[in-house]
Structure 1
Amino acid sequence: MELDFERCYRAVDSRDQRFDGWFYTAVTSTGIYCRPSCPAITPKRANVTFHPSAAAAQRAGFRACKRCRPDAAPGSPEWDARADLVGRAMRLIGDGVVDRDGVPGLASRLGYTERHLNRLLTAELGAGPLALARAQRAQTARILIETTDLGLADIAFAAGFGSVRQFNETIQEVYAQAPNQLRERRPVARTEVGTINLRLAYRSPLHVPALLDFLETRALPGVEERVGNTYRRGLNLPHGSAMVALTPEKRWVSATLRLRDVRDLAPAVARCRRLFDLDADPDAVDTTLSADVALRASVDTEPGVRVPRAVDGFEMAVRAIVGQQVSVAGARATLTRMLRAAGLSGVASPPTDRRPAALPDLVGFPAAAELAELPDSAFGMPANRRQTIRQLAEVVAAGKIDLEPGADREETVARLVELPGIGPWTAGYVAMRAIGDPDVFLPTDLAARRGAAALGLPTTPKALEKHAERWRPWRSYALIRLWRAS
């Protein structure tokens, strides 16, 4: 991928945090690579090269800066937003697919040959899928070394390395230190097995009330809850269950993860980042939306509104079906009854001053196969809607519809609307929150039309959809603002 030298150098010279994750600065005189906002003295032009990924910088022989931790920078918003093969591949690599299934598994998920995939990723990012996954493994290993008291051999395999030797060589190459030296730099206190504390960086601004209010209103007891400024929920991960507590801070989100299997650290982090939309570029979004006078006041008052996404695509699709033509409160009540029938208690422990520091027992949403086996009495909804959920569960369990971020967005939407009982509104809602499409608009949505009326916008679906064209490619973010105005 071509990077404009002058633009990149200006960002480095001004230490502009907005460009963290977009590219990486390699300094030939020191052999290190940094994020653009690194506080170190700006290197001379003659000593600088720019790389589109940390893996590309590592491949060129540079090691990570110990001061700015470039591997901990927010991910590029480009890979979060793009619907093409490279964007899909990056989301799957971030979710740990290469660590679990290898490059052949990644290529199979995407429907392309390994050779073609390697060629495209190398052209765009300066590194192939194996190198990109290796860079992620190194970051995962560093987090485990610095935040847990796990043995180094256990960390090696938990991070996805095939051997302790490979782990040692990679850490030495990327961080210019042996694993035991990294641990000496930051000795950690003994913690509960499987508990990991870390910080998730994001690009400012982040409108925390909008994000937490949205999730709290739709929170399912026993699965998720909000306590003060912290959001907690259960997760289903590739190697087992987990619980997470996310607390937004000024420059990062503090995350406490309780993992049944520490091999799930990378996918857990990826899903938490996705849930809070932490890789978004709020400046780009807000600049486009504020160009419309009808949204300008909203953007000025509440900058950095994100699109709350999902940790489980099937869960989000079920929520969308249950939410058809009913209120948010009504959908929540129906889903709660369904969860009780699936074996959840349905009620999380209420917060008290004596509450222990440990996370409450929250669980992930039932899997598709599990939900499909529930009796009719568990659903508490019209028969045709119940049948739609059953059909969805069957095709998801059979692998016929992909509802995860690496899915082909157009193909998934097309397959969803083929199912009886799923129309454009439902498919669009799933595309926005489960698959991460930043440019979804739902002109028939009643709350969106009420919000449009409050902002002086057209209220008929056809006229509102036409007006929304000026919000491309960020119509999903505009939709969140309309809902907040309703």
Structure 2
Amino acid sequence: MTPTGHLDTDACYRAVRSRDRRFDGVFYTAVRTTGIYCRPSCPARTPAVGNVTFHPTAASAHAAGYRACKRCLPDATPGSPEWDVAADVAGRAMRLIADGLVDREGVEGLARRIGYTPRHLGRLLTQELGAAPLALARARRAQSARVLIETTDLPLTDVAFAAGFASVRQFNETLREIYAASPSELRGRRTGAPSAGAVTMRLPVRTPFAGRRLLDFLAFHLVPGVEVAGPGWYARTLDLPHGAGTVRLELADLAEGGTGFVTAEFRLDDLRDTAAASERVRRLLDADCDPRAVDEHLRADPVLGVLVRATPGLRVPGQVDGDETAIRTVIGQQVSVTGARTVAGRIVAEHGRAVATTVPGLTRLFPDAATLAAVDPATLPMPRARGRALVGLAAALADGRVLLDRGPDRDDVRRALLELPGIGPWTADYVAMRALGHPDVFLPTDLAVRRVLADLGGDPDPAGWRPWRSYALMHLWNTLMPDTPEPTGSPEEN
């Protein structure tokens, strides 16, 4: 098996020659003569074809002995959009590794979540991604460490353990190997002053990026106490493996031009949650989407085309917690968005854990599944049948009958959801779209969708929208979404 896996060498080299930014994060170019690896759009001189190999992950390039380019920072790219489209074992594993699961539960825990033996999973990931689970986790730790070094004043010893390394020696050796620089040298290169008590990141997204419409959606659906929003920004609490946290996102439209960045400021009780927090927010942003591929496909549709041209780069809002998304979906069954927000806010005030934050309005974590599973359905502010459905779902989430961490197969999750009382196809499919990142979900019974399609006229063909029906759905809903105020003044004033 070669390290290039299933990549087409000729196609990859054409992308490198044209410096096509659409392929940043899809594959990496390793140059034998320099011993470094780059993103396809690296501005350095294009190497000769005989001097390069191509790798599906940064970890694959690391395993082959290459270090990261200091000019293009190839590890600071969105992930491959193919992982979400195919939803195969490799993609599911990569999402769990990015969330820090290997650091918390080991390779055995990862294999258990995926449903394979550790040995079989290792063979499969090496074949598909060019690296075994431990190497993939090591690459993630190195990137987390670089971010902490460059954005905080934490002592380097604290950075090592916050990033997930088992020892300072391992931390030093890994960073020297991958970045050809010591941690102290990396810290000396940073620009700007870090914010005390905060970790500020620039999360990469492919462009175009309809950030304002993503903000409009999140602001329209926000739950009091858990989320707040204002002109140009959105913030929320985070329930993370080692403690609580918050994130504040600056959301603006980004024109087409390769990779753009969304600024995220995290405040975390435990910096070991840095990787998990950033990965969950990237899911919320739909950061790995390839908007050009989506838009080019949907723009040709006679019904959707005008909507796609009006809002290029529209994203499907994801989630920071799959259990929360599923519970909120049940709360919102057969009620208006405003009504669902009110009910969810009351449940949060009654059952959510109080947290101290620096963001006005953020006061509680969304209640976890175990807490809601113990609630008497009769005490919930909703019809009795829906209350029983919510508590039954929470119990299934708490005891592991339903897992929404993007590890299990999507079809298996849907079947498990439909077996629960009060959970129908609309709810199961909406959860698949938001919680599992399914790009090809359509909700033909949704009343709002029916109304928008009737207003647009024509003869819609949802089958022709595959494999991007979730994005088509968002374009239809987008016509009904109210606008948030435009930002004014400086970021500090907002």
- Matching residue of 1:313: 322
Q: Residue 71 of structure 1: SS of its match in structure 2? A: coil
Q: Map 1:149-164 onto structure 2 (within 5 A).
A: 149-164=153-168
| 2:42 aligned residue | 38
**CA offset at residue 248 of structure 1?**
2.9
1:152–1:360: structure 2 CA closer, same or farther, 3 Å change rule? farther
| Equivalence map 1:142-291=2 (5 Å) | 142-186=146-190, 189=193, 191-193=195-197, 195-248=198-251, 250=254, 251-291=260-300
Alignment correspondent of 2:488: none
2:76 is matched with: 72
CA shift, 1:80, in A, is 2.7
Deviation at 1:345, TM superposition (A): 8.0
Task: Label 1:28 to 1:278 Cα distance change in 2 as closer, same or farther (>3 A).
Answer: same
Pairing partner for 1:301 from 281, 296, 310: 310
SS in 1 for 2:79: coil
Q: Which moved more, 1:62-71 or 1:183-192?
A: 183-192
What corresponds to 1:412 in structure 2? Answer: 413
Q: Name the aligned partner's letter for residue 400 of structure 2.
A: G
Q: Distance in 1 between matches of 2:194 and 2:41?
A: 32
d(CA) in 1 for partners of 2:376, 2:312: 45
The answer to whether the aligner puts 1:129 opposite 2:123 as a matched pair is no
AA in 2 matched with 1:472: R
TM value normalised by structure 2? 0.92
Q: Partner amino acid for 1:370?
A: T
1:396-453 Cα distance to aligned partner (Å, 9 max, x none): 1111110122222111110111111110000000010001111111100001111111
How far, CA to CA, are the matches of 1:63 and 1:46 in structure 2?
19
| Letter of the structure 2 residue corresponding to residue 252 of structure 1 | F
The 2-side partners of 1:368 and 1:174 are apart by 40
> Which position in structure 1 is the counterpart of 2:492?
none
> Once the 2 structures are TM-superposed, how far is the Cα of residue 174 of structure 1 from its aligned partner?
0.2
Name which of 269, 291, 301 aligns with 1:292.
Answer: 301
Percent of residue pairs bearing the same amino acid type: 57
Runs of 4+ in 1 over 6 A off after TM superposition: none
Q: Structure 1 stretch 371-380 or stretch 294-303: which is displaced more?
A: 371-380
* Alignment: residue pair count: 470
Match of 2:27 in 1: 23
CA distance in 1, matches of 2:224, 2:108: 39
Say if 2:377 and 2:391, in contact at 8 Å, map to a contact too: no
CA distance in 2, matches of 1:188, 1:209: 27
* Cα distance in 2 for residues equivalent to 1:342 and 1:370: 7
User: In the alignment, is the contact (CA less than 8 A) between 2:215 and 2:251 conserved in 1?
Assistant: no
Q: State the alpha-carbon separation in 2 of the partners of residues 273 and 436 from structure 1.
A: 11
295 and 406 in structure 1: CA distance in 2 versus 1, 3 angstrom threshold: same
Q: Aligned residue for 2:464?
A: 470
Q: What is the deviation of 1:323?
A: 1.4
Against the structure 1 CA distance between its residues 345 and 130, is the aligned structure 2 distance closer, same or farther, given a 3 Å change threshold?
A: closer
Instruction: From 465, 480, 485, give the equivalent of 2:479.
Output: 485
Q: Are 2:406 and 1:397 aligned?
A: no
| Match among 326, 344, 361 for residue 335 of structure 2 | 326
TM-superposition CA deviations, 1:154-195 (whole Å, max 9, x none): 1111111111111111111000111111112227636433x1
- Name the SS of the counterpart of 1:118 in structure 2: helix
Letter in 2 for 1:364: L
Q: Residue 275 of structure 1: CA displacement?
A: 0.2
Q: Judge conservation of contact 1:15–1:39 (CA < 8 Å) in 2.
A: yes
The CA deviation string for residues 241-269 of structure 1, in whole angstroms up to 9 with x for no partner, is 11001113542100100011011011111
Counterpart contact for 2:228–2:362, Cα < 8 Å:
no
Distance in 2 (CA, whole Å) between partners of 1:294 and 1:243 is: 40
Can you list the C-alpha shifts for 1:260-304, whole angstroms capped at 9, x where unaligned?
101101111110100010110011111111121111111111111
Q: d(CA) in 2 for partners of 1:457 and 1:417?
A: 33
Instruction: Give the aligned partner of residue 338 of structure 1.
Output: 347
Structure 1: distance between partners of 2:143 and 2:23: 19
Which runs of 5 or more residues in structure 1 are unaligned?
350-355, 459-463
Distance verdict in 2 for CA 1:359–1:113, change over 3 Å: farther
Q: Which residue identity is paired with 1:340?
A: A
Q: Give the counterpart of 1:139 among 136, 143, 162.
A: 143
What residue number does 2:489 align with?
none
User: Alpha carbons of 1:457 and 1:321: their partners in 2 closer, same or farther (altered >3 Å)?
Assistant: farther
CA distance in 2, matches of 1:363, 1:77: 33
Distance in 2 (CA, whole Å) between partners of 1:80 and 1:145 is 30
Relative to 1, partners in 2 of residues 1:256 and 1:469: Cα closer, same or farther, differing over 3 Å?
same
Verify the 8 A CA contact 1:222 1:344 in the aligned structure 2.
no
Q: Residues 73, 61 of structure 1: CA spacing in aligned structure 2 closer, same or farther, 3 A cutoff? A: same
Whole-angstrom CA distance in 1 between matches of 2:477 and 2:329: 16
The answer to whether the 8 A contact 2:144-2:275 is kept is yes
CA RMSD of aligned residues (A): 1.9
Secondary structure of 2:405's match? coil
Contact 1:242/1:363, CA 8 A, preserved across alignment: no
- On the 8 A contact 1:25/1:50 being kept in 2, the answer is yes
- Is the CA contact (8 Å cut-off) linking 1:243 and 1:363 kept in structure 2? no
Q: Name stretches of at least 5 consecutive residues in structure 2 with no aligned partner.
A: 255-259, 481-494
Match of 1:461 in 2: none
Q: In the aligned structure 2, how far is the partner of 1:169 from the partner of 1:39?
A: 28
Letter in 1 for 2:323: F
Give the conservation status (yes or no) of the 8 Å contact 2:209–2:315: yes
Aligned partner of 2:465: which letter?
Answer: W
Q: Indicate the SS of the match to 2:29.
A: strand
Q: What is the CA-CA distance between 1:330 and the residue it aligns to?
A: 1.4
Equivalent position of 2:483 in the other structure: none
* Structure 2 contact 353–367 (Cα < 8 Å) conserved: no
